[in-house]
Amino acid sequence: MRLDGKVALITGAAGGQGKEEAFLFAKEGAIVVITDIQKELLEKTGEELMRLSPKSSFFHHDVSSEEQWQHIVAQVVEKYGRIDVLVNNAGISPDTRLLDTSMDLWNKVMAINVTGTFLGMKTVVPVMKENGGGSIINISSIAGLTGGSGASAYTASKGAVRMLTKGAAIEYAKDSIRVNSVHPGVIETPMTEELLKNEQVKSMLEATTPIPRFGKPIDVAYGVLYLASDESSFVTGIELPVDGGYVAQ
């Protein structure tokens, strides 16, 4: 019960890593609120979650909308009185090279991956300050730590999440609000499903990961759990790679 009594809000939690985080948090005693833009999948996951943790709830949510953030956070506070943990997990990962990236795609990636994270913190920090503190975990990527080809907009967005995290960590440390980023490597989720169908890419990724396997969503979820719990009460502003040793090379 490492999160006993805490209220946690997790975005992009209808499937993949976010769903794994939500269910792990619920098993560890948290009241979990999940959001996602995928309405049907969200409802299915939300109903599963509420069977495990009846006090939990779910909301349809476009993380790039400030109005929706304000509405959802207000509803969560009205229902539960507080938000102790925020996991900015929602994101998209187009595999598009720089010269093939349209302005529309660039703006969409930035709106979801960067603006969504910014708005989440901007909306939730005042609630955490009022309640005496909290923990924010922003999901970045190893692409936010290392260069690479083939996903310029995604790489730029995850680098921005990394530095946005550090700035917020310093800014709100005196308010007992910890802000950390998690940097997954190649994790077997719906987001990477198409990528891993390419045998050439798959072989290259396997060859460059010291631990000879791809990550599972639960690998990331346990890292997020540590940062959400009081066990990490003296930890803020860090970047936690969950990548099988990829960035250690």
Q: How far are the Cα atoms of 48, 203, 217, 221 from residue 244, in angstroms, in the given order?
A: 30, 15, 13, 14
Q: Which residues contact 177 (CB under 8 A, 6 or more apart)?
A: 125, 128, 129, 133, 134, 135, 136
Tokens for 5, please give them.
């009594």
Active site annotation includes 226: no
Question: Which member of 154, 222, 226, 246 is catalytic?
Answer: 154
DSSP 111: I
3-state secondary structure of 92: coil
Specify the 3-state DSSP secondary structure of 233. Answer: coil
Give 114-169 as a DSSP string.
Answer: IIHHHHHHHHHHHHHHHTT-EEEEEE--GGGTS--SS-HHHHHHHHHHHHHHHHHH
Cα–Cα distance for residue pair 172/47, rounded to 1 Å: 35
Q: Which two tokens stand for residue 205?
A: 């990724």
- Which residues are tagged catalytic? 154
